Amino acid sequence: MIGLSAAIGLLPAVASAGPTLDKIKARGTIKVGVGTTPGFFAPGSDGRWKGFFVDFGRALAITTLGDPDKVEFTNSSPQQRLPALQAGEFDVLLSGVTVTITRAFQLGFHFGPTVFYDGQGLLVRKDLGVSQAADLDGATIGVQSGTTGELNIADFFRKSGHKFTPVTIEDTGEFINALESGRVDAITQDSSDLIGKRTQLKKPDDYVVLPERLSKEPLAPAVAGGDDRWLELVNWTVYATVQAEEWGITQANVDEFLKSDDPAIQRFLGVDPSLAQAINLDPKWAYNIVKTVGNYGEIFDRSLKPLGWERGYNRLWKDGGLLYSPPFR
Ligand SMILES: N[C@@H](CCC(=O)N[C@@H](CS)C(=O)NCC(=O)O)C(=O)O
């Protein structure tokens, strides 16, 4: 207690809620831009959105409004979603947006922690007999406009000296159709997107996602610049899921952990409310996130394991992955 009071004593009083949180509270819902890749985001048969990114949207609804259902998910094309975020139509994009330096500096976006480390892939018809991108010399390749994939594939072919013909498509349905109709020989996108979308093809077994990855695609929540407090809420909402996994706190055992003697866990779960009070959040916010959507590993396993995804880079740092939460103190 003395340590915490001394630490916060050095700081000015808690910052104001911030314009985005004020807007969310006044509206009573949080607006989240998403995609449509199976496993990552999809409206369920009951109309309720589900998926890996969707769960982070629900966690944010808990942080901001204390209710996982006070969130409105809207699909927006990769080309339209960044301008829409800039125009304030979304509070956050959870749509597989890659962190890039130009999006930060030129477009003025801020990124939360990477929630999925991905890489660009190629989805091709098996009967083309190709095993790597370089075999696609002379091919026609579909790219989705406004994506990093559109830029990376051009770099790849320039570097390798091979030729290709890009076919730029905005609409996701058309993008997939172009492959099925034979208008293009291959399509390129984040491998997460291709592996999910392959399952939606009429004959998925006739197609393969090549094992090669052409780029680094760290996918993170994106917010408009200029609202530091909002960015921090996004950051720490994601970190809460990672920290819970590190401590082994799950949806099923979180109530047991309320009895933990560990002071850090007591602060995290709000048994000791001093931390939440110091940062002006409901003492139960992290508890509610774990209880409702689970820790990072549970979020991953719920939506992505059924599709055959391995954790890979998306394991905790202590298990050899890249996920790491700074301290909750
Ligand atoms: N990561 C790339 C691509 C983002 C992207 O297109 N994501 C996929 C989902 S992972 C998507 O939204 N596809 C369109 C859809 O699902 O409707 C970027 O930031 O430019």
pLDDT in tens, 192-213: 999 999 999 999 999 999 999 9
Residue 15 has pLDDT above 90, yes or no: no
Mutational test site, ligand 1, from 56, 76, 98, 144, max ligand atoms within 8 Å of CB: 144
Pocket lining: 193 vs ligand 1, CB cutoff 6 Å: yes
Helix (H, G, I), strand (E, B) or coil at 25: helix
**What is the mean pLDDT of the segment spanning 7-17?**
51
CB atoms within 10 A of CB 16: 10
For residue 107, what are the contacts with CB-CB under 8 A and spacing of at least 6? 82, 86
CB distance 116 to ligand 1 below 6 Å = no
Tens digit of pLDDT for each residue in 89-146? 999 999 999 999 999 999 999 999 999 999 999 999 999 999 999 999 999 999 999 9
What gap in Å lies between CA 48 and CA 30, rounded to an integer? Answer: 15
Ligand 1 contacts CB of residue 114 (under 6 A):
no
Measured CA to CA, the distance from residue 28 to residue 32 in angstroms comes to 13
- Across the range 213-221, mean pLDDT stands at 97
* Domains of the chain, start order: 15-116+219-319 (3.40.190.10), 120-215 (3.40.190.10)
- Please give the pLDDT value at position 23: 96
b/e for 252-275, b at 16 or more Cβ within 10 A? Answer: eebeebeeeeeeebbbbbbbbeeb
pLDDT at 47: 85
Pocket test of ligand 1: the residue of 56, 81, 97, 171 to mutate, having most ligand atoms within 8 Å of its CB, is 97
Q: Using a 6 Å cutoff on CB, does residue 295 contact ligand 1? A: no
Does the Cβ of 97 fall within 6 Å of ligand 1? yes
- DSSP bridge pairs for 300: none
Percent of the chain with pLDDT over 70: 95
DSSP assignments along 67-79, one per residue = -TT-EEEEE--HH
pLDDT over 80 at 4, yes or no: no
Any residues with CB less than 8 A from the CB of 206 and at least 6 apart, and which? 125, 126, 127
User: Which atom of ligand 1 is closest in space to residue 41's alpha carbon?
Assistant: 16
Question: Over the chain, what is the mean pLDDT?
Answer: 93
Cβ of 217 below 6 Å from ligand 1: yes
Query: Burial letters for 99-119: b for 16+ Cβ neighbours within 10 Å, e otherwise?
Result: bbeebeeeeebbbbbbbbbbb
Q: By the 8 A CB rule, do 223 and 234 touch?
A: yes
pLDDT score of 2 more than 60? no
Residue 5 has pLDDT above 50, yes or no: no
pLDDT band at residue 45 using 50, 70 and 90 as cut-offs:
confident
Query: Among residues of the chain, what percentage have pLDDT more than 90?
Result: 91
Give per-residue pLDDT as tens, 278-323. 999 999 999 999 999 999 999 999 999 999 999 999 999 999 999 9
Cα 94 to ligand 1 centroid, rounded to whole Å = 10
Q: What is the DSSP secondary-structure string of 108-153?
A: -EEE---SEEE-EEEEEEGGG---SGGGGTTEEEEEETTSHHHHHH
Atom of ligand 1 nearest to the CA of 36: 16
